[in-house]
Structure 1
Amino acid sequence: MKMERQMSGLTAEQLSELGETLERRRQELATEIQARLAEASSERVASDAVASTAGGDEASLEGARDIDIAVAKRDTVELQQVEASQRRIAEGRYGSCIECGEQIGIERLKAFPTAPRCALCQAEFESRGVRGIKGTW
């Protein structure tokens, strides 16, 4: 069976598998974010209740809420990366480095399906100390 390559150098099968991986991760993250934010909200209500009764565990409830919010923020950044990768698939640009345009190796994409850069450009990007949504794997 002939394996046709897409513009990115990926076969249709590889692109499909990576697309499915991204969609599963998108769904997991969306669920996790909702759960974390709901938990943070309920911890806020509990914290307010503890504060109004002059109880003692308000600080630990606030700490747990802060952790939930921080994890939700981290997951939101990852969700944005997943969605950006899905857009690149839809536009036919997935698998091509956003810096140099060269193909991102299949092994790298399997390990980091949201990778927007080839390994060389990613290393150069990190050495410049730049961070942000484009800067992550």
Structure 2
Amino acid sequence: MTTLTCSELGLLQQRLGERRRELLAALHGEYGDVAGTRPPEVLGPESHPDETASRKARDELRAALARHDFDELQQIDAALARMVAGRYGACVDCGDPIGYERLVAAPYSGRCVSCQTAFEQHRVAR
């Protein structure tokens, strides 16, 4: 069972909503070409090979950043769904409460520190 007060839960829900709006704006704005919502910038045939390589590296970096933001957005949506279901603040693996300090630092956290550590160690081992 969670140990969050109503005011703590409200604050965390507000922070999740604000961050969700920021991510959606970034995904539709600065990463719009990566997401396919606007056409990518095209280099002309007179472009220097170094410029082409730089553009490719920049595009790969932007795609990686967009994937990171999209992953965070999915985590936020999952956290908001847990709130609606009344399971927010409880570890999805063991059911123990997730510390408020951890939720303030990363409001979309779904695991307690112990379970998150085990999850990451297992992922690295694969």
In structure 1, the residue matched to 2:40 is 44
**Which of 1 and 2 has greater Rg?**
1
1:33 aligns with 2:27: yes
Distance 2:42 2:54 in 1: 11
Residues 37-91 of structure 1: CA deviation (Å, up to 9, x unaligned): 33546783323xx2xx232122222222222111111100010001100100111
Measure how far apart 1:124 and its partner are. Answer: 1.7
- Structure 2 regions of 5+ residues with no counterpart? none
Higher relative contact order (CA 8 A, sep 6+): 2
Distance 2:75 2:15 in 1: 13
Matching residue within 112, 122, 125 for 1:128: 122
Partner SS, residue 45 of structure 1: coil
Residues 59-68 or 82-91, more deviating = 59-68
Matching residue within 5, 9, 15 for 1:11: 5
Matching residue within 10, 19, 24 for 2:18: 24
Q: Aligned residues: percent identity?
A: 35
Kept in 2: contact 1:44–1:65 (CA 8 A): no
Which amino acid in the other structure matches residue 32 of structure 1?
Answer: A
1:100 aligns with 2:78: no
Measure how far apart 1:119 and its partner are. Answer: 1.0
In structure 2, the residue matched to 1:84 is 78
In structure 1, the residue matched to 2:46 is 54
Which amino acid in the other structure matches residue 68 of structure 1?
Answer: R
* Runs of 4+ deviating beyond 4 Å: 39-43
Which amino acid in the other structure matches residue 29 of structure 1?
Answer: L
Kept in 2: contact 1:44–1:62 (CA 8 A): no
Distance 2:113 2:10 in 1: 22
* Matched residues, number: 121
Distance 1:128 1:66 in 2: 28
1:66 aligns with 2:60: yes
Measure how far apart 1:130 and its partner are. Answer: 5.8
- Structure 1 regions of 5+ residues with no counterpart? 1-6, 132-137
TM-score normalised per structure 1: 0.78
Structure 2 vs 1, CA of residues 30 and 102 (structure 1 numbering), >3 Å: closer, same or farther?
A: same
When the two chains are superposed, the root-mean-square deviation of aligned CA atoms in Å is 2.1
